[in-house]
Structure 1
Amino acid sequence: MILCAGNNETFDFATPIGVGLIDSAINLTRHALVHKPEFILFVGSAGSYGEHKIHEIIESKTAANIELGFLDKSAYTPIDNVVSAQTETIKDVIVNSSNYITTSEKAMEQMRGLGMGIENMEFFSVMRVAQIFGIPAGGVFCITNYCDTNAHRDFISNHGFAKVLLREHLVNKGMIRG
């Protein structure tokens, strides 16, 4: 099953599950209860914490939920906030998820310092639901922006082409038909 967020991030080959951590978790759980898929592939855009370049395609099986309050020690969590389906010894790009988009260069550098590579609002929910239901899962992302003050502007200007690049990547990998 190929999934995407929804709203302006839809694909004709993917099922939209909602934007953000909550809607995506609810809707994917509903799907899993009705028709448990054999595999989940989430496809979407992502912001880079600096190491990955705009229009780069990233594949990952590891998601985190590190909120910005963690960076200045104004918040903590008692839950396990990293989920991975990675079984190989290669280093996986960690996709951080939050309902908020990082727009601070300082926070971007701190996230990178924690080992986070990119951010996408839904991926942690997808990986956590997949983990609970015992469904293998992963994600494919196209970088649309850096997580800095220009994040929204750059996302808007790069989003359309990112969707084209994601489609091409999936066609080239034989995951969808052209």
Structure 2
Amino acid sequence: MIVCAGRNETFKFAEAIGVGLIESAINLTRICLFNKPDFILFIGSAGSYGNHEVFDIIESRRAANIELSFLTNSSYTPLDNVLESDNKMVKNDTIVNSSNYISTNEELAKQYNEYGIGIENMEYFSVLQVAREFEIPVAGIFIVTNYTNENAHEDFLKNHQEAMKKLTEYLVDKNIIK
């Protein structure tokens, strides 16, 4: 099953699960309860912490939920904040960070690279968490639409349509969709 966020990021061949950690967790859980898929592929856009270029496509099987406050030693969590899928088809080491907030502090956001975290996407951590709970293999394919800086939202809007086209072409080239 191919899933995506929704709202302005939808695809004819993917099931929209909602934007952010909460909506995506609730809606994907509902799907898994009533029609459990054999495999989940999450597709969507991402912001780069600086090591990936706009329109780069990244496949990943790892996600994190590390807030900016963690980078400034202003918070801690007792929860597992990095998850990895057992899916061995994807070998990329890029960790995708998820939060309900988009990073706009470029200098602070670059620190994510020190932890092996290269991009951010609002939903992916919850997708891995739900897949883990239901013992479903999972992976993600992302296209970079912007950098995590003060222009993040404007660049996302400017690049989004072209990025969705390029991501779809990538999925066709990889024989994931027809």
TM-score, shorter chain, exceeding 0.5: yes
For structure 2, the residue ranges without an aligned partner over 5 or more in a row are: none
1:141-170 CA distance string (max 9 Å, x none): 000001111111110100001100110011
Q: Give the share of equivalent positions with the same residue, in percent.
A: 59
Contact persistence 2:93–2:116 (CA under 8 A): no
Contact persistence 2:87–2:139 (CA under 8 A): no
Which amino acid is the alignment partner of residue 132 of structure 2?
Q
The aligned residue for residue 108 of structure 1 is 109
- Following TM superposition, by how much is the alpha carbon of 1:9 offset from its aligned partner in structure 2, in angstroms? 0.3
- Between the aligned partners of 2:122 and 2:7, the Cα distance in structure 1 is 13
1:121-144 CA distance string (max 9 Å, x none): 000000010011100000000000
Contact persistence 1:62–1:86 (CA under 8 A): no
- Between the aligned partners of 1:75 and 1:117, the Cα distance in structure 2 is 21
Question: Comparing 86-95 with 167-176, which one deviates more in the overlay?
Answer: 86-95
Question: Comparing 87-96 with 1-10, which one deviates more in the overlay?
Answer: 87-96
- Between the aligned partners of 1:39 and 1:162, the Cα distance in structure 2 is 24
The aligned residue for residue 177 of structure 2 is 176
- Following TM superposition, by how much is the alpha carbon of 1:114 offset from its aligned partner in structure 2, in angstroms? 1.9
| Local SS of the residue matching 1:127 | helix
Query: Which aligned segments of 4 or more residues in structure 1 are displaced greater than 4 angstroms?
Result: 86-91
1:71/1:98 Cα in 2 relative to 1: closer, same or farther (>3 Å)? same
- Between the aligned partners of 1:109 and 1:175, the Cα distance in structure 2 is 32
Matches within 5 A, 1:7-26: 7-26=7-26
Which amino acid is the alignment partner of residue 152 of structure 1?
H
Which amino acid is the alignment partner of residue 146 of structure 1?
Y
- Between the aligned partners of 1:19 and 1:109, the Cα distance in structure 2 is 24
| Local SS of the residue matching 1:12 | coil
The aligned residue for residue 163 of structure 1 is 164
1:82/1:150 Cα in 2 relative to 1: closer, same or farther (>3 Å)? same
- Between the aligned partners of 2:34 and 2:82, the Cα distance in structure 1 is 26
The aligned residue for residue 135 of structure 1 is 136
For structure 1, the residue ranges without an aligned partner over 5 or more in a row are: none
Contact persistence 2:103–2:109 (CA under 8 A): yes
**Length-normalised TM-score, structure 1:** 0.96
Which amino acid is the alignment partner of residue 35 of structure 1?
N
- Following TM superposition, by how much is the alpha carbon of 1:91 offset from its aligned partner in structure 2, in angstroms? 4.9
- Between the aligned partners of 2:49 and 2:174, the Cα distance in structure 1 is 26
Q: What is the number of equivalent residue pairs in this alignment?
A: 177
Taking only aligned residues, the RMSD between alpha carbons, in angstroms, comes to 1.3
| Local SS of the residue matching 1:138 | strand
**Length-normalised TM-score, structure 2:** 0.96
Matches within 5 A, 1:4-153: 4-86=4-86, 88=88, 90-153=91-154
Question: Comparing 107-116 with 15-24, which one deviates more in the overlay?
Answer: 107-116
